[in-house]
Structure 1
């Protein structure tokens, strides 16, 4: 028969030692004490409630899996937890950045003759000038708007497909594209 332990009376180091012995109630007590702290750090960095919750769960899963690596002489438990949270948050942000980079078309990579027919040297100069104006205007848009424009106009995705790729609501994507087009209309002279 298992003896009853009041985990709330144990200090953090004792709890980590019990977690290392595969004691789930010790992990539950650590979670109760520190999940708000870990969640707050994650939410502040990623500004996304669901992602911050996932980071928090990942951190405490890591505590369960790696508690034997904790060294009390090197850091307090809170310092260790926040270090785990920081590293996991950086991983999430890197993944977001990589996804953004992967989906963005480099505006300089669009072929000079993409969709255009040329009749003479004047048109060539006119098109080159217009293309440069568009590139300059697009460069001034926020990254999220550039990403949505690239997926819609250079990769040919529908609004729904873009929403799935970016894991954003469809309405957000439509608003983002509409805002981007309005800004471009304001920045580019009428022809």
Structure 2
């Protein structure tokens, strides 16, 4: 390692960030060496996924490279700034996962909307189509968080525990959303259709 690298070794965290703002790659490497472990540990604790945590860690330091000039020492230590960047990136990842989960759920609903192959009786076929149409319309009137748990349970075949694990939510929250969502569904579809909700 050259003199510049040795110089970076002795710089304080704040001085490293100032150097990174001047696009000093050695300074970024030194900051990474000091803090990538703790940043990764925080990400893996929050995401429970080592691959995603590694991506978050890389993204955190990429953001440091881009935004080092925005660091203000008077607002707090470099460590607090780094952990803040990491937390924001983790939140983005969690939101992305939930959006993807909802997309998968809606695709499942589309598949579930197809009538079963054994409906040779035209009246039964028509009734099933009507019921499914009403159910999809009723589901669209629910709050998003209630709709997702109901769709995962009834179209995805997941248990309450599996839904809680998949969405990263407490089991009690999932059960409450399920109960409130089903109550709302029964109100929306009316008395004539409550037996199939």
TM class by shorter-chain length? Answer: 0.5 to 0.7
1:66–1:120: structure 2 CA closer, same or farther, 3 Å change rule? closer
Aligned match of 2:84: 83
Distance 1:117 1:67, change over 3 A: same
Distance in 1 between the 2:97 and 2:89 partners?
13
Q: 2:119 aligns with which of 117, 140, 161?
A: 117
TM-superposed CA distance for 1:9, in Å, is 1.7
Rounded to whole Å, the distance in 1 between the matches of 2:115 and 2:16 is: 66
- Counterpart of 2:48 in structure 1 is 47
* Aligned pair partner of 2:163 in 143, 152, 172: 143
Q: Which has the higher helix share?
A: 2
Q: Distance in 1 between matches of 2:107 and 2:156?
A: 14
- TM-superposition CA deviations, 1:98-141 (whole Å, max 9, x none): 1111011487763484434265999x79xx9xxxxx93993525
Q: Residue deviations 1:41-90, cap 9 Å, x none?
A: 11111111111111111111110111000000012100000000001111
- TM-score w.r.t. the length of structure 2 is 0.58
1:120 & 1:34 partners in 2: Cα distance?
A: 67
Residues 13-162 of structure 1 mapped to structure 2, 5 A cutoff: 13-105=14-106, 110-111=112-113, 113-117=115-119, 119=121, 135=154, 138=157, 140=159, 142-143=162-163
Gaps of 5+ in 1: 129-133, 147-191
Where do 5+ consecutive residues of structure 2 fail to align? 132-152, 167-197
Distance 2:74 2:11 in 1: 18
Alignment partners' CA distance in 1, 2:47 and 2:27: 28
Q: In 2, distance between residues paired with 1:76 and 1:106? A: 46
Instruction: Please report the RMSD computed on the Cα atoms of aligned residues, expressed in angstroms.
Output: 3.5
**Does the 8 Å CA contact 1:107/1:135 hold for their aligned counterparts?**
no
Distance 1:107 1:15, change over 3 A: closer
Cα distance in 2 for residues equivalent to 1:91 and 1:98? 11
Aligned residues: 139
8 Å Cα contact 1:55/1:89 also seen in 2: yes
